[in-house]
């Protein structure tokens, strides 16, 4: 590209204009897409539709006279509302055990590409209990790049907190202040009233999300359909996003499962979409994040505000870790220069 109305990938890399965050919301579909054939040992990543079967609750529910073909949200919510503490605790224990064992494959995955493709100003907010996103974050910290902030809106099996010092970190790692190991955080289960403010850790996770949501120039919703049982979560995000008409230029992107009903997605997230400023992809690698890694904001400015043609800079998804990190080296000089000037 050499026209004044065109921006090459090299030019895009040299630009660091956008300081507002790109916020990514992850649901169960994102973890399924990251490990479509199961984790490192073949353990499958569940969706709500097949949750009871994959997590191993099927036979237990049969014993209790509960139809395991029901949606897990409905099963758990019904037990909770009936105050069946013994059964809910048993289910919680089995879920904790199942998710704690999950491991990423040894080769790069979508989650590895995701964390490398966003910057420190950006934020990834996961509803997922599995440890895969945290594992991706930790192993790519060796790449020498700033990585996005992570928040876990329903808790996570890999994350712990210190209530005394009001800090959080990797489960079992010592708190930097009191030196005591971080303790397990509660997992929030599918009940209609979750009360996000009741737990210190969960409340802080939502505070961080709301702050980024208010400033965001783009949100990407990946594998999360906004379930009906989680109206409190949707309401909290709507409040942070604000009135739709005031978001006339922001872009909303959706990454969905192949064959998923696009009309349902649009209906569920209508409050976050202004006019035609949205797009739907069935593949992560068709998204802004994969086509313009670490520069989604700059690509956004060039295309929507400067009305220029932009060139894709696709992540080399077949590369092993060393070659992948070598490829991402191209972003370092511009980012280092910008940090020095700040």
Choice among 119-133, 191-205, 322-336 with the minimum mean pLDDT: 191-205
**In a domain? residue 270:** yes
Residues 82 and 33 in one domain: no
- Predicted confidence (pLDDT) per residue in 138-147, tens digit: 999 999 999 9
pLDDT mean over 163-174 = 89
Residues 75 and 112 in one domain: no
DSSP per-residue codes, 59-110:
HHHHHTT--TTS-HHHHHHHHHHTT-HHHHHHHHHHHHHHHHT----SS--H
Residue 17 pLDDT: 87
Residue 96 pLDDT: 96
**In a domain? residue 119:** yes
**In a domain? residue 1:** no
Choice among 79-93, 113-127, 176-190 with the minimum mean pLDDT: 176-190
Which of 194, 133, 184, 140 is closest to 163 using CA atoms?
184
pLDDT above 70 (res 251): yes
Residues 162 and 202 in one domain: yes
pLDDT above 90 (res 4): no
Residues 122 and 169 in one domain: yes
Residues 112 and 81 in one domain: no
Residues 69 and 147 in one domain: no
Residues 282 and 268 in one domain: yes
Helix (H) or strand (E) holding 159: strand 159-162
Domain that holds residue 33: 6-40+103-246+253-341
Residues 114 and 76 in one domain: no
pLDDT above 50 (res 245): no
Q: For all residues of the chain together, what is the average pLDDT?
A: 89
Residue 229 pLDDT: 54
- Residue 16 gets the label, from left (phi > 0), alpha (psi -120 to 50) or beta, of beta
- Predicted confidence (pLDDT) per residue in 87-125, tens digit: 999 999 999 999 999 999 999 999 999 999 999 999 999
Higher pLDDT, 40 or 259: 40
Residues 300 and 154 in one domain: yes
Total domains in the fold of the chain: 2
């Amino acid at each position: 590209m050499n026209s004044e109305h065109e921006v090459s990938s090299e030019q895009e890399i040299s630009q660091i204009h956008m300081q507002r965050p790109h916020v990514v919301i992850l649901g169960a579909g994102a973890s399924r897409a990251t490990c479509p054939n199961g984790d490192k040992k073949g353990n499958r990543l569940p969706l709500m539709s097949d949750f009871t079967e994959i997590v191993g609750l099927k036979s237990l529910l049969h014993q209790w006279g509960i139809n395991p073909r029901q949606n897990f949200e409905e099963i758990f919510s019904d037990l909770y509302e009936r105050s069946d503490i013994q059964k809910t605790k048993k289910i919680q224990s089995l879920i904790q055990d199942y998710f704690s064992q999950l491991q990423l494959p040894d080769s790069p995955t979508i989650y590895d590409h995701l964390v490398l493709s966003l910057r420190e100003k950006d934020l990834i907010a996961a509803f997922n209990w599995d440890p895969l996103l945290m594992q991706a974050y930790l192993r790519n910290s060796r790449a020498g790049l700033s990585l996005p902030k992570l928040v876990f809106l329903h808790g996570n099996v890999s994350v712990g907190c210190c209530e005394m010092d009001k800090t959080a970190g990797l489960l079992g790692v010592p708190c930097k202040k009191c030196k005591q190991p971080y303790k397990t955080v509660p997992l929030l289960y599918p009940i209609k009233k979750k009360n996000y403010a009741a737990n210190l850790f969960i409340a802080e996770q939502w505070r961080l999300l709301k702050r980024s949501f208010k400033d965001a120039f783009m949100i990407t919703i990946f594998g999360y359909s906004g379930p009906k049982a989680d109206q409190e979560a949707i309401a909290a995000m709507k409040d942070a996003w604000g009135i739709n008409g005031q978001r006339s230029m922001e872009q909303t992107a959706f990454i969905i499962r192949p064959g998923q009903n696009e009309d349902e997605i649009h209906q569920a997230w209508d409050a976050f979409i202004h006019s035609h400023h949205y797009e739907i992809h069935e593949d992560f690698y068709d998204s802004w994040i994969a086509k313009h890694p670490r520069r989604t904001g700059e690509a956004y400015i060039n295309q929507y505000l400067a009305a220029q043609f932009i060139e894709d800079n696709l992540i080399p998804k077949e590369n092993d870790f060393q070659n992948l990190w070598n490829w991402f080296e191209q972003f370092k000089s511009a980012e280092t220069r910008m940090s020095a000037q700040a």
